[in-house]
Every structure is written in structure tokens, then in C-alpha cells.
């Protein structure tokens, strides 16, 4: 459910290298430990220095209760806020700002205890009241609240026990409950500051959390600066904060970001622009870390609307899609084609599931059969013309790349489909996807750190006026699988159920999987220790997720 | 072919051209604007160069000054100033001579003064450049110059722009500018053409006076023989790039040899005639200087033309009077001329000329 | 005097017309509700969403008729209140966005104009004095090349040469750096938009100079023995500046347009990039404010240009 938070910022990434799209906040169990290129472990970290980070976009604000935080926003938020829980390098959820959490036997009540003695940057102490207050503000936010409302009762959702202890009462049992509190919902902000933001929304630009860094200054679309929190609660429990300061520079153009890094104006960047990957490999002064465990890029089909309410047409579209050609043309030899929502290394990968594609002949057979029935839509309009299915392909623009991709798809499809192009502004694009006013769109999604969290995109109950189940595909069998995955009573059934879910997704033909999104994290050789973060019990923590970065343990040599 | 040497030994010519040929590159071909002209002007003397437009008179003066447009060049001959060859000098080298040694007055004082610069500045800039004066010194001199050319309220005028002055006043400013550095040689190119008739005489008088006072030499270019009559020592009549008659002013009027000169004389506007009376004009058009006619260049328009004129170009002839030369086979007064004149008068084709001769 | 009163009145009418057209067009062509509410804005079958939509419409005056909204906007605008942004909170106020970003764009445009003028004038003087010669022809080719090249291509070339290869200039602008650094960082962005404009100015001024150089007063200046450069600068330049000044004035608007590209490539948080974002987001108050600023500067500059004529040519002074 965490994923919902940023759905306003989410959109159909039309390509793995489409920089304009902000990926949804999701992630898979990620790279374990430090990349090979990182500093040798025996080197001793030194304190000091300012880390300059190149991000792909700026944010409208850094208020976890209201701002739509995408990858850049979450990277900034992670420096100034602490999440209640966090993922380990192995994909487990462990307490962070929370001291502990205990489910009831039926997993319907979760009792959480906060760490004692934690204060926000403004001196306000961290208490149960602060967490509950933030929960209620979030729930009432017209946007972010959408991610909270469906899963909690109207009253009594969070109950205070004492100053540090509280109970969560979700509507239904799930063994994954704490994973919802690992990111935006779990980033706890100062209640004093939230009051101030309510009075003056411009203060959302100057966040106040408990995190390892303190907000210092911000110039929109230019630079946001945080300085070290010398009074950080985690210094003794988690580890020291080495950097004096972090400066975040939003640089939307990926090649400019690369130039700035190579020129020494930035120390670390993230990018999905695969064209640049070889440059990073060829530069001996840069360390490259590629993360493919996150989202997948795929074509998404609206199954609620003719002609794609017919599975034959959906299958035909998949078969007519030149996946290999797409990869060759737009991925520049980087990353790999995706057959499903899991990477081959994942324990949930289903080796039997292969994405259909590159078979126009088979597509033509299916279309001939479908059009042979002279289908009409609800208004009596012909769905086929000249033996080809009429359809619309929508993308968010204006974007030269997205238009090129649309043209490319059309080359493969045109044998069996009459394709109408529909370029929409990003706002309209998201809105029409949410409201089901589309045939086919390019999209980026899935790959949550906890795969169970991806259920929001898949369940029948998320079909409605605004549907997060964008393809509006309802299958009770699938919902049953999802319940089995979430069922706290049967953790052993989980891997099999997830593999079955992969098969189910394939068989629905609501998604045509294209590629794994590749995030490159590139840093200069003087940046060290980024992946050395550990939890309170010394367990290594996740290093990066879908381009999101954490800097508590980072230090600079020289 | 050149006139006999009457120059006194101490009076070398100040300016002299020897057979200069100035050619222009045009889309139609080479235009021989000045085609072998030799003139001499001694210090303190004045020469009037007269001709129709296109006769080469302006090009001649510009050739001497070295102010030819980019497509024009002196192909042949020599231009000497104080005995020095200057015909081949670059603009950069000529700058030392311009303003200081030679100055020029143009036809239209409206277009010849910089419209966006106060006249005071236009006169002081050459003073400051050539004589190294300070701004205030130059201003004092400028005021004196304005007084010399009889500009009333010189102090106020110095601070005015050209458009604030009358035409005559502007030409006085021009003269003052030309006089500023005390040149030895003044070129005046149709200095009164653009002016009101009543002012013309004043300006010419002023030029003449300045010339006298400063012992300058003057080359006065005009299409109007009447203008030069009272103000020049000698006159050269040009036609089609050549000097066709040259004589001391009095001689030229008294003993005209060229039928062309005679025709020019007929076209002088006269103050004693009503202003609406038609001037005698020379029929035909000036010669094509890109492809000049074979014989005498004036032949196609000459009332006294004979076969010889059309086939052979006349050399410069020496008249009876010293310093008087002309290019004509059958000059005014020759038997052939008289014979033809009788015929023409009978036919009534010379009606308007009778009273002039 | 009366002439100036008329000109000012005309300018005000013009600005009113511009604002009316922009206001109308924005409201007809786009729906700002998405920026305020997200997808909820389109969820018209859900009573809960409809309630939120209605609340937002009331809050942002979107439920009023177009003329009423325009009237409200105008009366606020003339009092210096540019309104609120169409975001979920209505924050930050438009005046805040503008006052933070406008100075950067103005600096960029002024610097570009400065470069354009100070490149084009000597360039035009040199080429006009050598009209038709080889150097003039090469310059003509260069000028057309600069004019034809898109701004972003110039930006990329400048960056590549001066920042990456030579390492003389910074790659991007940093709004938080000290003023002296920022001026330095502004050089390449200003050249990016200034160079093509310089080429246009040069073409224009060269032609006018050639005409001027054929005037008699230039010949007179030569007969005074003045140096070639004194003639060009003191005598030929000023009378040749009329169309130049007009075009410089008019181009200030075009430069603000060009600044969009330059601001994006060099990361300058100015109003150019904000304009694009705001148009895409249907954030009308911001768009309107920027359009009005650009239009007003157009109008004011043209008034100034008229005034400048009188400084250059005494004949216009009456």
C-alpha cells in the first residue's frame, strides 16, 4: 500500500530510459551489501566534507503527509527523516525509528513501541501523539490519504497506549504490516512543524524530522542543502554520520548530470538513461552500480474496454509486439528483457513463464478469428476495420523519445491493428489511466521490496471510479492467491503462491512485459561507505531501491 | 599636346595630373570615367571643370583627392601634389593630406553634413585631429571660422544640428569645415547647385574670398559655365571623360572653339531672362563611356558633324591664344563650321542660338 | 506630452487585451483541477470525489463565470496580488514564485542582450567596411549558421568547448553560489541565446551601415582625414542605429522565449522554465503572471525605444 503514496507522481514510463517519468515508490529485495567498486572495507571512514548529489528531478515539497514523493523526493526525505521500519539487505523488515513491533495472534492488532529519548530537529520529542497526529493528517490528505483510507477503519485505527506505545488496527490481517511503514508513511515529521505547515504551506519546503541530516537551505529547482545532525539519536545505536553536509542538485537532463559528475561538480548521481552506462564503465574515476531489481517497464492494457475485453485481442497485441526490437533499439544493450515481475535471481521467479511476443503470424490468426465475428462495442460501433482491430495507444508527452517508441510499436502492430496515437499531457495521462479511459499505455511498476505490497495494483477491490488496478482486471483466483501470500498463518505457502501469481498475471494478458528498469548509481572514487548502513542490531540494510539513495554511512576521502 | 609651359620657375603646379585614366568596374564592363586628362593648378589659381553629368568632372576631382569609390581605380597616368606622386597612395597614406592639404566642398550641404552631430563637433574634429588642439582651443578657432564665413551668432550655431540651419548656412558650415585646417587646395563640387538662386552668388563669393585670403588653389566642378565665369582663372570643359577644351576663362568665353562649349554656353541660365523661359538644351545623350563612339565623342550630338568626326578622334589642338587647347576638327569659326551654320539657320534649327552669339 | 499620454493609454489597452486573451485561452484549453486534486478531479461518479471537486472549485473561484473570474483577477493583479498557484494547498503565492525567479531571467536576458549588442556592433562595423570582400562573405555564412542553429545546439557546443574541453566555464548555474560566481555561470547561458540574436543584429546593422557609408557626409568625414575607425564609430554608427534599436527592443521578448531553452540546459531556475511547467500543469495564475510580465516588458521597452530615437536622432526631437 506504500506504493499508492506517490501515484500522483507515478506515470507511464514509456521506456526504461524515459527520464521524465517518475517511477512509483516500490522496490524488490535489492543488492546485498556493497558493490564491488566500493571502498575496501579496511579503509577507515573519515568525517567531514559535503556530498553533492545529482537527482533526476526536484520535488514540490518534502511533507510526508502531503507531498507526492518520487525517487528524488524519497532520497531527500531519507536524509532528513527516519522511517519507523526499514528493509535489510536481505529484504526483511526491521525496526528503525520504532524500537519494536508485535502482532497479536490473529495479526489484527500491531503494538508498536517507539525509541525513547528521540527528538526532532526542532527539539520536539518523538511521542506516540506525534505519530498518531501524522497518521490522521495523512489520512485526510486528498491525495496521500487515498493510500491509507481503504485499509483502516474510520475510527480507532491507531490507539495510544502510552507516550511511546501505540496499537495499529488495520482492517485485515497481513504478515507484512510493518513494510507499509518503511517509506513515506513511516517517515515521521515533527508535529510542531506539521502545525506550522498547515498554517503556511510554504514551510513544506523546509522539513523537520529526526533524521541524520538537518534541513539547512533550499532554492527550488537549484539546490537543497542538509547539514549533519550532531544530536542524531542513531549515532550510538546505528552508527556515526560522517558527512558535514549534503547538497541535492536536481538535474533533469541525464547527460548534463553525467557531465557534472565527470567534471567534479557532483559526487554521485542516479539515472535510468541506459545510453550513458558505457560512459560510466569507461571512466576509471567513476564507480558504477547498476540496480535492476526494481520496477518493470511494460505495456498495460485496459481489459474493461472493448476490444481488449476479449483476451484473444490482448494476446494478439502481445504476440504482435516486437520486444526484441524494442530492446535492441531503445536499451542500447543495457539491462535485459523482462518476462515477469521478478528478476531471474529472485526466489519467486517462475522459470516457466515467458512473455509472448515477436510472433506477428500468430497474432494475425487471433485477430482474424476475432474480427471474423464482426464485433461491435456498446454503442454499436464496429471494433474492426478492414480485418484489423481498432485501438488507441496513449502516452504522456510531449516527448520525442515517447513518440519514437510509439512509432516503433506501431510498426509491429500495424499488420493486425489500426493504431491511433494519443499523446496526452502527463496529468491527463495519469488521470485517464486512473479512470480507465484508455486502450493501451506504457507504464512502470511492480518490484516492491516486499512483493506482497504489489497487490494494490492487482486486487479486484481496487477497481472503481479511480482504479489502482489500472487494467481493471478482476480475477477471484488471483485475489485468493494474494490473500494466501499475505496470510500470516501460512508463510511457507508464500513462494509457491507468488510463482502462481506470476503465471496468473501472464495468463491475464493485461500486461506485456518489456524490460527491467535499470537504475545506475554512479559515484566518484572519493565517495565511500554508502552501502555500509546497518540496523540497530548490526544487520546490513538495503543500499538502494529504484534509484533511491541513503547517505547516513557515506563518507568522503581526502 | 599639353599647353605651352608658361609656369614661372618658382610657381610649380600645386596639383597636376598627367594623362590620368580612371576606370570603374560596372556590370556592363569597364567605364572609362576619366580617359586621359592632364590639368595643372598653380598655387592661388583656380580651375573650373565644366561638363554635363557623366562627363567625368566629379571623378576627376575625386581621382585627384584619392576618394574614388571601391569599384574605381586610377589605371594610368599620374597625380602629383607639390611634385609628389599621390595617385597610388592608399587611403591611410592620404589621410595626412586630406583636411590639412586638400579639402572638399560638396554639392548638397543637407546630405554632406552628419545629421546627428552638432556642427561644432563636425568642424572641431579635424582641428583636433590635424592640429592637435584641445577641445576648447578648437572651439575658439571654430567660432572664428564661423565668423569668417559670416555665420551670424557663431557660438549658438556651433551647438546646433545641421537640420536646424538653412541651406545657405549649412553650406557656409561646409566651407568653414573645409577651411578649418587651412588647406592649400580646395575642391568644390557643384557647391551651389542645391542652393537657392539668391544664395548661390553669396556662396561663390565666399569661396572666392576665402581662396584669395588664404592663397588657396581651387578646383571648381560645375555643370554650369555661368557659375565658373566670374570665379576661375582657367576653365576645362570635359566631355565623355576627356577635356575637350581648356583655356583661361576670358579666352574661353571670348574665343570658344568647341561646338560643345558653345552649346554649354547656350544652356547657361540667365538672370535677365524670365525664369520660366526654356533653356536651350543639347539634344541627345552624353556618350556611353563603357563603349565610347569611335570618332569624336561629341560627334553624335554635334550640329556641325562631318564624316571625319565620326571616324577619327581629334587630337588636342592648340588655338591661337596661349593656353587655349581644344579637340575639334572643325572648330567654331572654321569655314566648315560657318558653312554648316548658314544651312542650319536657314532650316530654322538654330533659332534660339542667334541671340547668344 | 499628449503623444506620450496616448502611447501609455494604448499600452494599457494592449495589456488588457493580452490578459483577456490569455485568461480566456487558458480556461478554455485546460482544466487546473488535476493539479489541485490529482485523479480525483476526474472521478465524477463518486460522491466523495465530487464533494472534493466542489470544495476545490469554490476555494479557487473556479465555480464562478469566466468574466467574473477575470474581473477578480484583474482587480487583484493591479493591486500587486498575483493570486495563488493551482496546487493542492494554493502555495506558494504566485508573487513568491515570480519574485524568486524573475531576477534570474532578467539577468540572463540582460546579459544576453549585452553580449548580442557588443558582439554585433563591432562585427557589423568590420563587415560593413569590408562589404563584399572574402571576410565579409565568411561572416555572412557564419551569421546564417548561428541564426539557423537551434538554441540547444549552441548550448551543447558552448558547453562542450568551454566547459568540458577547455574547462574555462562552469557547466551549470547554481542559484546558491555567491553573486560573482553566478555572474560567471551566467555567461554561457547568455551567449547561448545572445549569439543568434547577435547574428541578426549584425545582419541588420551591416546593411544599414553600408547604406550610411555611401552617404556624402561619410565622404566629407574622409576628406577631413579622419581615421577609418573614427569614421565608422563616430560618423557612421549612430545614424545607422534606428532599425537596430527597434529590433533590439523587440528582441527582448524573443530572448525571454529563448531563455526557456537556456534555463533548462544550464539549470537556471528562472521564469522561462517555470512557464513551461506551469502551462503543462494548467497552473493558470503563474502562466498569467509570467505572460503579463513578458507583455509588459515588451510594451515598456517599445516605449523606451521610441524615447531612444530622440536621443539618437536630434531631428526626431520636437
A478/A362 same-domain check: yes
A35/A132 same-domain check: yes
Residue contact C267–A465, C-beta within 8 A: no
A317/A345 same-domain check: yes
Question: Are C260 and C275 a contacting pair, CB within 8 Å?
Answer: yes
How far, in Å, CA of A551 to CA of A528, rounded? 10
pLDDT at position A26 is 35
A272/A344 same-domain check: no
In a domain, A464, yes or no: yes
Per-residue pLDDT band for A31 (boundaries 50, 70, 90) equals very low
Residue contact C164–A60, C-beta within 8 A: no
pLDDT tens per residue across span C99-109: 888 899 999 99
Judged by CB atoms within 8 Å, which residues 95-154 of B form the interface with C? 95-100, 102-104, 106-108, 111-117, 125-126, 129-130
Cβ within 8 Å of residue C84, ≥6 positions away: C60, C90, C91, C93, C94, C285
A507/A525 same-domain check: no
In a domain, A110, yes or no: yes
A324/A454 same-domain check: yes
Instruction: From A256, A267, A221, select the one nearest A49 (Cα to Cα).
Output: A267
Work out the minimum CA distance from C138 to partner chain B, whole angstroms. 20
The answer to which of A30-34, A512-516, B322-326 has the lowest mean pLDDT is: A30-34
Query: Once rounded to an integer, what is the mean pLDDT over residues A183-200?
Result: 92
Place of cell 546593422: C205
Burial A133-168 (b: 16+ CB within 10 A, else e): bbbebbbebbbbbbbbbbbbeeeebbeeeeebebbb
Give me the domain span that covers residue A142. Answer: 31-292+518-556
Residue contact A142–C38, C-beta within 8 A: yes
Q: E-assigned strands of A210-311? A: 213-219, 223-228, 245-250, 268-271, 286-291, 296-301
Hey, of B72, B114, B171, which one would you mutate to test binding to chain C, going by the most C CBs within 10 A of its CB?
B114
Interface residue A140 vs chain C (CB under 8 A): no
Query: Once rounded to an integer, what is the mean pLDDT over residues A144-161?
Result: 85
pLDDT at position A105 is 87
Work out the minimum CA distance from B141 to partner chain C, whole angstroms. 16
Per-residue pLDDT band for A16 (boundaries 50, 70, 90) equals very low
Q: What are the CA-CA distances from residue C66 to residues A470, B129, B275, C69, C81 (Å)?
A: 35, 69, 74, 5, 19
pLDDT at position A520 is 92
3-class secondary structure, B292: coil
**C contacts of B91 (beta carbons < 8 Å):** 222, 228
In a domain, A7, yes or no: no
How far, in Å, CA of A76 to CA of A212, rounded? 11
**A contacts of C280 (beta carbons < 8 Å):** 425-427
Hey, of A465, A467, A468, A469, which one would you mutate to test binding to chain C, going by the most C CBs within 10 A of its CB?
A465
A232/A374 same-domain check: no
Query: Once rounded to an integer, what is the mean pLDDT over residues B3-29?
Result: 75
Work out the minimum CA distance from C259 to partner chain B, whole angstroms. 35
pLDDT tens per residue across span A86-116: 999 888 899 999 999 999 988 899 999 999 9
- Rg value, chain C, Cα: 24
Please give the tally of structural domains in chain A: 2
Judged by CB atoms within 8 Å, which residues 181-220 of A form the interface with C? 200-202, 204, 217, 219-220
Interface residue C223 vs chain B (CB under 8 A): yes
Per-residue pLDDT band for A131 (boundaries 50, 70, 90) equals very high
3-class secondary structure, B31: strand
Per-residue pLDDT band for A261 (boundaries 50, 70, 90) equals very high
Question: Are A390 and A420 a contacting pair, CB within 8 Å?
Answer: yes
> Per-residue pLDDT for A35 more than 50?
no
**B contacts of C210 (beta carbons < 8 Å):** none
A534/A511 same-domain check: no
Chains B–C, number of C-beta pairs less than 8 Å apart: 83
> Per-residue pLDDT for A446 more than 90?
no
Interface residue A425 vs chain C (CB under 8 A): yes
Candidates 3.30.70.580, 1.10.3720.10, 3.20.20.70, 3.90.1300.10; correct CATH number of C100-316?
Answer: 1.10.3720.10
Residue contact C171–A263, C-beta within 8 A: yes
Interface residue C21 vs chain B (CB under 8 A): no
Query: Once rounded to an integer, what is the mean pLDDT over residues A515-544?
Result: 91
pLDDT at position B277 is 46
Hey, of C88, C164, C268, which one would you mutate to test binding to chain A, going by the most A CBs within 10 A of its CB?
C88
Judged by CB atoms within 8 Å, which residues 239-278 of C form the interface with B? 239
Work out the minimum CA distance from C247 to partner chain B, whole angstroms. 20
Question: Are A427 and C34 a contacting pair, CB within 8 Å?
Answer: yes
Interface residue C192 vs chain A (CB under 8 A): no
Cβ within 8 Å of residue B155, ≥6 positions away: B143
pLDDT at position B357 is 36
pLDDT tens per residue across span A275-291: 889 999 999 999 999 88
3-class secondary structure, C34: helix
Q: Which of A142, A222, A256 is facing C175, going by the closest CB pair? A: A222
> Per-residue pLDDT for A427 more than 80?
no
Per-residue pLDDT band for A9 (boundaries 50, 70, 90) equals very low
Q: Which of C216, C230, C238 is facing B108, going by the closest CB pair? A: C216
A488/A511 same-domain check: yes
In a domain, A24, yes or no: no
pLDDT tens per residue across span A49-94: 999 999 988 888 899 998 878 889 999 999 999 999 999 988 889 9
> Roughly how many angstroms between the first and final C-alpha of chain B, as a whole number?
29
Per-residue pLDDT band for C277 (boundaries 50, 70, 90) equals confident
- Could you tell me the three cell numbers for C36? 489541485
> Per-residue pLDDT for A425 more than 80?
no
Instruction: From B42, B106, B84, B22, select the one nearest C224 (Cα to Cα).
Output: B106
- Could you tell me the three cell numbers for A304? 474493461
> Per-residue pLDDT for C224 more than 60?
yes
Residue contact A222–C269, C-beta within 8 A: yes
With CA atoms as reference, the chain C residue closest to A222 would be C175
With CA atoms as reference, the chain C residue closest to A68 would be C38
Cβ within 8 Å of residue C30, ≥6 positions away: C282, C284
Instruction: From A272, A10, A400, A513, select the one nearest A408 (Cα to Cα).
Output: A400
In a domain, A65, yes or no: yes
Complex-level ipTM: 0.80
Beta bridge partners of A337: A515
How far, in Å, CA of A320 to CA of B27, rounded? 68
Query: Once rounded to an integer, what is the mean pLDDT over residues A510-536?
Result: 92
Interface residue B81 vs chain C (CB under 8 A): no
3-class secondary structure, B226: helix
With CA atoms as reference, the chain C residue closest to A265 would be C171
Angle at A395 between CA A393 and CA A396, to 5 degrees: 160
Residue contact A8–C167, C-beta within 8 A: no
Interface residue C8 vs chain B (CB under 8 A): no
CATH number at residue A498: 3.10.105.10
Q: E-assigned strands of B137-214? A: 185-189
pLDDT, averaged across chain B: 84
Question: Are B28 and B290 a contacting pair, CB within 8 Å?
Answer: yes
Per-residue pLDDT band for B271 (boundaries 50, 70, 90) equals low
Strand pairing of B46-50 and A555-556? unpaired
A378/A301 same-domain check: yes
> Roughly how many angstroms between the first and final C-alpha of chain C, as a whole number?
10
Strand pairing of B185-189 and B102-105? parallel
With CA atoms as reference, the chain B residue closest to C238 would be B116
In a domain, A305, yes or no: yes
How far, in Å, CA of C270 to CA of C99, rounded? 10
**A contacts of C176 (beta carbons < 8 Å):** 217, 219, 222-223, 225
3-class secondary structure, A175: coil
Amino acid at each position: 500500500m506504500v506504493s499508492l503514496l506517490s501515484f500522483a507522481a507515478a506515470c507511464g514510463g514509456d521506456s526504461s530510459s524515459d527520464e521524465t517519468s517518475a517511477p512509483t515508490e516500490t522496490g524488490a529485495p535489492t543488492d546485498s551489501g556493497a558493490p564491488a567498486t566500493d571502498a575496501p572495507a579496511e579503509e577507515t571512514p573519515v568525517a567531514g566534507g559535503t556530498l553533492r548529489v545529482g537527482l533526476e528531478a526536484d520535488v514540490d515539497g518534502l511533507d510526508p503527509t502531503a507531498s507526492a514523493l518520487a525517487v528524488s523526493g524519497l532520497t531527500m526525505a531519507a536524509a532528513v527523516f527516519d522511517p519507523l521500519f526499514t528493509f535489510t539487505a536481505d529484504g526483511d523488515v526491521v525496526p528503525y525509528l520504532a524500537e519494536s513491533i508485535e502482532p497479536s495472534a490473529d495479526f489484527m492488532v500491531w503494538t508498536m513501541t517507539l525509541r525513547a529519548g528521540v527528538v526532532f530537529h526542532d527539539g520536539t520529542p518523538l511521542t506516540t501523539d506525534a505519530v498518531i497526529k501524522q497518521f490522521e493528517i495523512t489520512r485526510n490528505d486528498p491525495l496521500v490519504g487515498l493510500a491509507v483510507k481503504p485499509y483502516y477503519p474510520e475510527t480507532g485505527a491507531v490507539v495510544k497506549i502510552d507516550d511511546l506505545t501505540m496499537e495499529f488496527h488495520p482492517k485485515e490481517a497481513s504478515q507484512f504490516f510493518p513494510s507499509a511503514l518503511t517509506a513515506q508513511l513511516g517517515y515521521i515529521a515533527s508535529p510542531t512543524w506539521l502545525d506550522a505547515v498547515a498554517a503556511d504551506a510554504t514551510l513544506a519546503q523546509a522539513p523537520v524530522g529526526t533524521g541524520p541530516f538537518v534541513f539547512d537551505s533550499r532554492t527550488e529547482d537549484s539546490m537543497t542543502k542538509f547539514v549533519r545532525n550532531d544530536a542524531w539519536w542513531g549515532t550510538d545505536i546505528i552508527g556515526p554520520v560522517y558527512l558535514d553536509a549534503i547538497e541535492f542538485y536536481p538535474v533533469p537532463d541525464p547527460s548534463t548530470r553525467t557531465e557534472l559528475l565527470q567534471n567534479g561538480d557532483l559526487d554521485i548521481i542516479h539515472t535510468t538513461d541506459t545510453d550513458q552506462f558505457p560512459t560510466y564503465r569507461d571512466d576509471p574515476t567513476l564507480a558504477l552500480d547498476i540496480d535492476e531489481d526494481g520496477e518493470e517497464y511494460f505495456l498495460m492494457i485496459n481489459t474493461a474496454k472493448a476490444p481488449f475485453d476479449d483476451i484473444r485481442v490482448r494476446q494478439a497485441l502481445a504476440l504482435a509486439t516486437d520486444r526484441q526490437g524494442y530492446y535492441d533499439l531503445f536499451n542500447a544493450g543495457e539491462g535485459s528483457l523482462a518476462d515477469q515481475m521478478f528478476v531471474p535471481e529472485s526466489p519467486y521467479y517462475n522459470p516457466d513463464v515467458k512473455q509472448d511476443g515477436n510472433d506477428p503470424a500468430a497474432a494475425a490468426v487471433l485477430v482474424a478469428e476475432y474480427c471474423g465475428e464482426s464485433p461491435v462495442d456498446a454503442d454499436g460501433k464496429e471494433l474492426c476495420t478492414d480485418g484489423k482491430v481498432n485501438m488507441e495507444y496513449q502516452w504522456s508527452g510531449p516527448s520525442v523519445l515517447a513518440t519514437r517508441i510509439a512509432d516503433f510499436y506501431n510498426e509491429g502492430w500495424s499488420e493486425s491493428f489500426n493504431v491511433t496515437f494519443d499523446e496526452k499531457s502527463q496529468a491527463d495521462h495519469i488521470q485517464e489511466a486512473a479512470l480507465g479511459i484508455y486502450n493501451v499505455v506504457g507504464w512502470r511498476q511492480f518490484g516492491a521490496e516486499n512483493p506482497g505490497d504489489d497487490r494494490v495494483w492487482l486486487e479486484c477491490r481496487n477497481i472503481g471510479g479511480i482504479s489502482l488496478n489500472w487494467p481493471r482486471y478482476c480475477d477471484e483466483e488471483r485475489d485468493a492467491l494474494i490473500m494466501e501470500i499475505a496470510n500470516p498463518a501460512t508463510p511457507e505457502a508464500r513462494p509457491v503462491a507468488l510463482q502462481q501469481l506470476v503465471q496468473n498475471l501472464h495468463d491475464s494478458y493485461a500486461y506485456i512485459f518489456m524490460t527491467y528498469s535499470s537504475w545506475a548509481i554512479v559515484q566518484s572514487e572519493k565517495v565511500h561507505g554508502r552501502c555500509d548502513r546497518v540496523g540497530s542490531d548490526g544487520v546490513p540494510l538495503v543500499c538502494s531501491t529504484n534509484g533511491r539513495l541513503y547517505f547516513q554511512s557515506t563518507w568522503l576521502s581526502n | 599636346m599639353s599647353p605651352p609651359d608658361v609656369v614661372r620657375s618658382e610657381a610649380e603646379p600645386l596639383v597636376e595630373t598627367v594623362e590620368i585614366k580612371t576606370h570603374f568596374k560596372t556590370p556592363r564592363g569597364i567605364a572609362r570615367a576619366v580617359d586621359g586628362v592632364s590639368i595643372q593648378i598653380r598655387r592661388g589659381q583656380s580651375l573650373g571643370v565644366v561638363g554635363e553629368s557623366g562627363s567625368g568632372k566629379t571623378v576627376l576631382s575625386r581621382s585627384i583627392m584619392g576618394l574614388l569609390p571601391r569599384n574605381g581605380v586610377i589605371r594610368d597616368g599620374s597625380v602629383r601634389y607639390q611634385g609628389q606622386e599621390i595617385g597610388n597612395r592608399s587611403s591611410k597614406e592620404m589621410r595626412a593630406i586630406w583636411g590639412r592639404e586638400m579639402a572638399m566642398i560638396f554639392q548638397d550641404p543637407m546630405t554632406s553634413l552628419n545629421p546627428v552631430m552638432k556642427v561644432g563637433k563636425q568642424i572641431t574634429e579635424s582641428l583636433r585631429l590635424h592640429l592637435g588642439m584641445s577641445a576648447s582651443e578648437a572651439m575658439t578657432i571654430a567660432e572664428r571660422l564661423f565668423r569668417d564665413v559670416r555665420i551670424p551668432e557663431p557660438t549658438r550655431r556651433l551647438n546646433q544640428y545641421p537640420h536646424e540651419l538653412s541651406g545657405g548656412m549649412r553650406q557656409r558650415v561646409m566651407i568653414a569645415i573645409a577651411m578649418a585646417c587651412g588647406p592649400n587646395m580646395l575642391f568644390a563640387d557643384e557647391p551651389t547647385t542645391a542652393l537657392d538662386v539668391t544664395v548661390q552668388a553669396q556662396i561663390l563669393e565666399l569661396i572666392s574670398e576665402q581662396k584669395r585670403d588664404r592663397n588657396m588653389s581651387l578646383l571648381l566642378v560645375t555643370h554650369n559655365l555661368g557659375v565658373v565665369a566670374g570665379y576661375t582663372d582657367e576653365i576645362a570643359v570635359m566631355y565623355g571623360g576627356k577635356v575637350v577644351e581648356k583655356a583661361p576663362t576670358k579666352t574661353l568665353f571670348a574665343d570658344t572653339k568647341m561646338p560643345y562649349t558653345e552649346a554649354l554656353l547656350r544652356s547657361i541660365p540667365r538672370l535677365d531672362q524670365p525664369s520660366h523661359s526654356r533653356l536651350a538644351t543639347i539634344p541627345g545623350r552624353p556618350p556611353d563611356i563603357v563603349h565610347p563612339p569611335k570618332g569624336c565623342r561629341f560627334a553624335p550630338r554635334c550640329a556641325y558633324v562631318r564624316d571625319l568626326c565620326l571616324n577619327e578622334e581629334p587630337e588636342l589642338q592648340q588655338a591661337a591664344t596661349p593656353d587655349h587647347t581644344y579637340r575639334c576638327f572643325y572648330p567654331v569659326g572654321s569655314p566648315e563650321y560657318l558653312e554648316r551654320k548658314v544651312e542650319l539657320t536657314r532650316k530654322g534649327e538654330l533659332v534660339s542660338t542667334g541671340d547668344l552669339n | 506630452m499628449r503623444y506620450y499620454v496616448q502611447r501609455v493609454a494604448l499600452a494599457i489597452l494592449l495589456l488588457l487585451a493580452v490578459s483577456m486573451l490569455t485568461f480566456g485561452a487558458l480556461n478554455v484549453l485546460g482544466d487546473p483541477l488535476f493539479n489541485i486534486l490529482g485523479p480525483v478531479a476526474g472521478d465524477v461518479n463518486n460522491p466523495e470525489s465530487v464533494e472534493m471537486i466542489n470544495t476545490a472549485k469554490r476555494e479557487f473561484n473556479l465555480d464562478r463565470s469566466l468574466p467574473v473570474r477575470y474581473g477578480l483577477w484583474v482587480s487583484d493583479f493591479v493591486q500587486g496580488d498575483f493570486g495563488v498557484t493551482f496546487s493542492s494547498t494554493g502555495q506558494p503565492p504566485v508573487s513568491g514564485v515570480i519574485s524568486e525567479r524573475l531576477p534570474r531571467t532578467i539577468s540572463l536576458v540582460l546579459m544576453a542582450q549585452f553580449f548580442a549588442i557588443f558582439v554585433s556592433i563591432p562585427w557589423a562595423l568590420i563587415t560593413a567596411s569590408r562589404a563584399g570582400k572574402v571576410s565579409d562573405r565568411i561572416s555572412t555564412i557564419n551569421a546564417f549558421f548561428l541564426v539557423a542553429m537551434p538554441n540547444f545546439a549552441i548550448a551543447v557546443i558552448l558547453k562542450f568547448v568551454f566547459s568540458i574541453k577547455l574547462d574555462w566555464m562552469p557547466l551549470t548555474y547554481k542559484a546558491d553560489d555567491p553573486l560573482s560566481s553566478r555572474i560567471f555561470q551566467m555567461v554561457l547561458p547568455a551567449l547561448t541565446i545572445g549569439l543568434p540574436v547577435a547574428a541578426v543584429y549584425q545582419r541588420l546593422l551591416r546593411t544599414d551601415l553600408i547604406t550610411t557609408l555611401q552617404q556624402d557626409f561619410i565622404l566629407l568625414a574622409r576628406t577631413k582625414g579622419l581615421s577609418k575607425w573614427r569614421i565608422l564609430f563616430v560618423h557612421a554608427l549612430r545614424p545607422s542605429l534606428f532599425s537596430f534599436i527597434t529590433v533590439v527592443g523587440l528582441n527582448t521578448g524573443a530572448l525571454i522565449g529563448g531563455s526557456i531553452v537556456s534555463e533548462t540546459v544550464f539549470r537556471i531556475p528562472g521564469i522561462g522554465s517555470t512557464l513551461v511547467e506551469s502551462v503543462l500543469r494548467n497552473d493558470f495564475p503563474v502562466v498569467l503572471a509570467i505572460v503579463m510580465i513578458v507583455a509588459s516588458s515588451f510594451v515598456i521597452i517599445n516605449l523606451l525605444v521610441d524615447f531612444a530615437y530622440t536621443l539618437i536622432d536630434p531631428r526626431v526631437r520636437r
